[in-house]
Structure 1
Amino acid sequence: MRYSLLLSLGLFTSSLFAQQVVNSTGKVLVSPTMSVEYSVGEISIATLFSGQLVATQGFIQPNVATCIISASIAGQDSVCAGTPTLLTATGGIDYQWFNNSTSPELLVFPNPGTDIYQVTVTDASGCSATVTKTIFGKAVPNIDIQSVAALCVGDTAHLKTTGNATNFNWNTGANINNIIVVPSQTSTYTVVGFITNDCPNTASVTVEVRTPPQAISAATNEIIACADTISLHGNTPPASGSGQWISLGSANISQSSQANTLAKDLVFGDNRFVWSVSNAPCPGPATDTLTVFYSNEMPVLYPDDTLVLKGQAVQLRLLLNDSISQLPGYDLRLKTSDLNGDWSLATNGTLSFEPSLGFTGAAQAIYEICNALCPNFCDEAIVQILLLEPKDDIGETVAITPDGDGKNETLIFDYLDQYPDNSIVIFNRWGQKVFDAKPYLNDWAGTYNNKPLPAGTYYYLLNLRGEDEFVWGNVLIVR
């Protein structure tokens, strides 16, 4: 209780008690416990806030004032450390918290142990008071999970807790600190750890489950290339994995880590490539081998021509003078033919021609051969068949005696070296061809299919330079 000594110039009245409080000295001692109004006669009114008041010139003035205000902070006395809790200050109209917040309410996150929170409260009369609130933060355990980040489907994962928790509850139902799981797909595991039941902590870990890699390089394992650059296509690796193209030869791969890329500088024949896919930690890699057959060979064809007698059918083996052995295979067709007879071409390259009745002159056709694997690699050649009518009154008779004595063994023309493109056809008396050659090398010894022909007269048609340079004659075989 605080008392104040008052000096009065006249009658001193307390409005609180509605009575005079005057002593013989003109001084009054009061001890207010709340805001009280005092008056001195009819002169003035002053408000005393529990302090010493002195009358000056008929007025009561405060000398020293001490406020009386009821301020407090409401809230929990203890919470789990780090858990938010609300503090509410009362008793005024203005509030100033320790962190400069001016709201009556403040959300705090107590630390482990004791925390003290302070607020200054001011009421409507301007009177202020500072109050505090003590909160005890109960310990929350530290907890974490150690585990592999990823595993292959079917593998086990060891989940180990770390920290100071003493009790555990897993979302798998287990209640021990370490567990073993075999997830079939990517899964999240959660454990609640606590020291006391009212302050738990939670930790989670996600274990990614990966599948073994697969490698698929193409729809088939062998393809054909007609150019020295080809597109390679592999399956897309898993998002967690990777792929790699590997050349088993001299070909170059432009972007080897891309599933779809280009291979360049192929060589003729087989070019082998491997598509390799990995997806750790699954075993691998998985591989698939692709064989690319590069066929860049062109056929090379040469013209064919022959001489026959009027009315004779013809069969020519067109491929004998062509270069096609380098091809992996070929397609043969008769591309064009004239109307001077019936033409047909067998798959083995034998051309058959049946001339129209009475036709003489040149019959022509064109045949084509293409690389069977690369159908744009083609060549063509012309076939010309001359059908002539024998002229008995033209030419000479030459005798040969193929008996092995070294004299007159073969049919010889001394001037053939002047006509390197010559050709010859020899017929029997029935018009059947028994020999032909292009060029003729002066080497016919009266044989057919390497067997001696009967003695008798045969006739020849020697083509020196095109269809206008013919030499007719007879050859007599003497045995």
Structure 2
Amino acid sequence: MKNIKLATFFFLFSVLSFNFSNANENMKTFNKKNTHSSKPSVNSNIKKQKKSSFVIDPPKLIAQGDQFYCPQTSINIVTDFRIDHDIAENGTQVLYIQISSGYSSGLDRLELTNPTLHPNIITSWDATSGKLRLSGTTSADIPYADFVSAVKDVVFTNSSATASGTRTFSITIGQANYLPSTGHYYLFIPNVGVTWTNARDLAASSTYYGLQGYLATILSADEAKLIGEQASGTGWIGGSDAETEGVWKWVTGPETGTIFWNGNANGSTPNYAFWNTGEPNQQGDEDYAHITQPGIGTRGSWNDLSNTGSLTSGDPYQPKGYIVEYGGMPGETLLEIAASTKITIPVAMPATDPAPVCDSGSFTFNATATAGATIRWFDALVGGNLLATGPTYTTLPLTATTTYYVDAGCESNRKPVKATIYATPTTPIAEKDTYTNCGAGSLTIKASSNIGIINWYASATDQTIISQGTTFTTPIISSNTTYYAEASNNGCKNTTRTPVNIVINTPPAVTDETLPLCQFKSITLDAGISGMSYLWSNANEATQQITVSKGGKYTVVVTSPENCSSTKTIMVEEHMIPQIARVDVEGTRAIIYPVKAEDYFEYSVDGVHYQDSTVFYDVPGGLQTAYAREKNHCGEAEKQFVVLVFPPFFTPNNDTYNDIWEVTGMENYPQAVVTIFDRYGKLVAQLTRFKMSWDGTLNQVPLPASDYWYALKVDDSMPVLRGHFTLKR
């Protein structure tokens, strides 16, 4: 621990023989060593002279210079500075200037300008703590006047164009960090492995220029940053939950008993707390607060440790020391060995840009700024003309969008504001005045203007936009309709709407057909509607009717005068002329067999009644004719056949009903012979073309009622037909 110059001196002199010219010879200066041990403070051990003595007051630092600062420039940290001191003490060895709040490491810097004007002073910049050390080139005291002159030449710079906020500078002749917002002093005491309780006692036994020390307590972000980030080391602070687990209190200094955290890692924060992520975790007896070592979690945050912390050398959780805070204890007098100034980076905050206007107009801009800063309005981001100062600026009438810029004194902080003017578009021009469509459907209509967008409406006065864009695809419409196009440019409307008409034309009504074409003939095909244009696909003809002589698919495009087309399809089916191969007869059933059967053939056995089936029942006996014809009368065929009918019985009683037995149809076969036998096989009659019937007698003698058998031989090409019948009396 380096020696710190004590501001308290005792002079021994004789009241009766006091001579100012030889005062230095009679003055004895006492330096205080702040050892931060359990030993009594040097202040309490200063011996007084036996006769008479007086105490030399500590020096009083007075600084002025609350200023505005523009980033990337340099500015003196004071506008005036002095050190009021006792006449018996003219200097000290070291003076410190620290950026005690708002410090931005790596960007902020303090340095002494014009070093040649201060030959007795050297400087050292500590970027971690944001502190500039001014000291002499020798171990001798440097006159206060030299320090005053040097402080007036210390400047602050920030290298970032986007810097913001406030910086507070503390100027002190003590080594401890001074925080103007609290008026307290903070000092890190290295002591590797020190326990929390020992650190507490050591801190309480130390003094600083008469101020009582205690383990630091932290009640604000400024304190946390100065102690945690800008201190030269990390260590114990005065927080503990040893009394009630999870309830963390400050247990040192004037804040003793103040709860700053209630609960574990997800607890509440009654006062400022800056725990590292996941802390406090309440593992074991971790009841004491410790500044987290750099590289572990969030820089400057706290964690909780046991009273000893880690006992492993080099471990991140091994205590490295403790932080002592001076100031605020009851009954203490104000110590003024430190002074402070600050710089504020002024920022202008423009209000929302005024609403756009159509075509031309003037605009009023408003802005607020950092307190005390003057708002300036410019026409360029860099340089440019100063247009006005103050929180409000009203432009001249404008006809085009214009960007202005506002700052609070720093060109680097200028912000753009925009006066937006939108031109009213021209009246829309439709691609077509009238669109046509053949039948119901959806159409794509188009309109355009010089700028902006096109809004489509269903009527000239309707305010409901149904579509936007230069093209509009309509819903399916089936009748004449008019839509209206209106041009709009960001709310600036040309209220003259352009109508776009849609005319729905009716296509020709055609009906597809299927027509038969008779074999070896021709047929006339008709489009079916007159007064149109025609185009036959198969024949490449343009007349309403065409004649074709072969089957197939024929199409014709029928086009109306409005150029609406419909396509008619005619299927021409070529039908053959029927031919009969044979007719089979089974009793009274006849079956017609065509040479080739077709669905469009129909059949008959009487030439009157036709049917699709080729089978006929109960055909009358005798010579018959079979007919086959095409249903559309393309042609027909005939073929005769004979139906032989054998009566199942006869009654030869001369009542004129069934008096004889004869084979109907036999007359068509000249060579046919029917032989009749009785039940015993005796030949009783024979029928030929010369004798076509039997009267039931043999040699003119009536035969008895009984069953009789017959055998019919038509000719040598046909089989013998056999059967029986009954003779009834």
**TM-score tier (shorter):** 0.3 to 0.5
TM-score, scaled relative to structure 2: 0.30
TM-score, scaled relative to structure 1: 0.42
Larger radius of gyration: 2
More helix by share: 2
More strand by share: 1
